[in-house]
Amino acid sequence: MTDRSQLRVAIAQYACTPDLGTNLDTAVTYIEQAGAAGAKLVLLPELHNTPYFCQREDPALFDLAEPIPGPSTERLARAARGSGVVVVASLFERRAAGLYHNTAVVLDSDGTLAGRYRKMHIPDDPEYYEKYYFTPGDLGFTPIDTSIGRLGVLVCWDQWYPEAARLMALAGAELLIYPSAIGWDDATDDNAEQTRQLSAWQGVQRGHAIANSLAVVTSNRVGIEGDNGTEIRFWGHSFVFGPQGETLAEAGENPELLVANVELQRTEQLRRIWPFLRDRRVDAFGDITRRYRD
C-alpha cells in the first residue's frame, strides 16, 4: 500500500498513429517518463494502440483485437515493472471469435496483471459506432486491487453515468479512473458548442468526485483523426480532480505528460463532514433499475 498522504499520478495524453508498434513505443516512453517523475500510477488514453477505428463499421477491423494477456499486456507489463508504476491501459480485447470488448487492463508495479474492466456502457452515435465492435462488459463495477490501492476503473462513455461511479465507490474504490477518447466534429460543432461539450464532460465527472468524495483521473487523446469522410478532433484536456471537485491538474490540447499529487486519505476526512453515503435513501431507490418511470 502506498503512502496515503501523497499518491503521485500521471496521465499520458498523446495522438495515436496507424502503426501499433509506434503507439506502444509512445506508451512505454510516457510510462518511463512518469516513473522518472516519481509517479506511482500512469493512465493511458482509450484504445491507445490504434487510431479510433470506430468511426466506421468494417469487419476487417476486428483483426486489430488481441487476447488479454497478450502481446500488448506483455510489453506494457515490462514497462510497468521497469519503472515501478501501476499502468492503466486500454485495449481492444479478443475474447473469442465474434466476441470482443473495449477493455481496460491494470498492470501492477511488479508487472503482474492485477485485473481488467470491460466497458459497460457502449455508445452508438455518428463517428462512434462502438456497438458494432464491442460486447457490453460482464465483469460488473468491481474495483481492482493494486499495490497503491483499490482502483475504480471505468471507460469513456461510462463517465456520463453517476450510477457507475457510485457503484465503484460502494464497492470500496479509492480512486475513479477513466481512459477516454472524445472529441469534436469541426464540421458541425461551432465554438460555442465545443465549449459546452467540454464543460459538460468535465462537469459531470467533477460531480462524481464530489458525490463520492473520490479523486477522479481522466485521460484523453489529442489530434485529428479522419476516416471515410469524417473527422474527429480529440480535444485533450485530460485532468485530475480532487475529492471535492477541485482541479489538481489539467492538460491543454497538445501531447503532454500530466502529473499531479492526490491525497487518498481526504476521502475519509470528507465523508465524516459530508456523509453522503450515510444519508442515501436506499429504501426509496427501487425505480433506479427501471429504464424510465412512465
Question: What is the mean predicted confidence (pLDDT) over 111-131?
Answer: 97
Query: What does the alpha-carbon distance between residue 128 and residue 56 come to, in Å, rounded to a whole number?
Result: 8
Q: Is 127 a catalytic residue?
A: no
Q: What is the residue-averaged pLDDT of the chain?
A: 96
Q: pLDDT confidence of 1, banded at 50, 70, 90?
A: very low
pLDDT tens-digit map of 215-265: 999 999 999 998 767 799 999 999 999 999 999 999 999 999 999 999 999
Q: pLDDT confidence of 294, banded at 50, 70, 90?
A: confident
Based on the number of CB atoms within 10 Å of its own CB, is 293 exposed (0-12), middle (13-18) or buried (19 or more)? exposed
Query: What does the alpha-carbon distance between residue 212 and residue 175 come to, in Å, rounded to a whole number?
Result: 10
In the beta sheet, which residues pair with residue 96? 99
Q: How far is CA 104 from CA 196, 201, 208, 272, in A?
A: 28, 20, 19, 32
pLDDT at 80 over 60: yes
Which domains, from first to last, does the chain contain?
7-280 (3.60.110.10)
Question: What is the mean predicted confidence (pLDDT) over 48-67?
Answer: 96
Question: What's the confidence (pLDDT) of residue 4?
Answer: 66
Question: What's the confidence (pLDDT) of residue 226?
Answer: 87
pLDDT tens-digit map of 15-46: 999 999 999 999 999 999 999 999 999 999 99
Q: Is 40 a catalytic residue?
A: no
As a three-state string, the secondary structure of the chain is: CCCCCCEEEEEEECCCCCCHHHHHHHHHHHHHHHHHCCCCEEECCCCCCCCCHHHCCCHHHHHHCECCCCHHHHHHHHHHHHHCCEEEEEEEEEEECCEEEEEEEEECCCCCEEEEEECCCCCEECCEEHHHHCCCCCCCCCCEEECCEEEEECCHHHHHCHHHHHHHHHCCCCEEEECCCCEECCCCCCHHHHHHHHHHHHHHHHHHHHHHCCCEEECCCEEEEEECCEEEEEECCCEEECCCCCEEEECCCCCEEEEEEECCCHHHHHHHHCCCCCCCCHHHCHHHHCCCCC
Q: Is 93 a catalytic residue?
A: no
Question: What's the confidence (pLDDT) of residue 169?
Answer: 98
Question: What's the confidence (pLDDT) of residue 113?
Answer: 98
Q: Which of 54, 119, 130, 174 is catalytic?
A: 119
Q: Which of 40, 54, 93, 156 is catalytic?
A: 156
One-letter identity of residue 26: T
Q: Which of 46, 93, 130, 225 is catalytic?
A: 46
C-alpha cell at 97: 471469435
Q: For residues 75 and 227, which has the higher predicted lDDT (pLDDT)?
A: 75
pLDDT tens-digit map of 152-180: 999 999 999 999 999 999 999 999 999 99
pLDDT at 8 over 90: yes
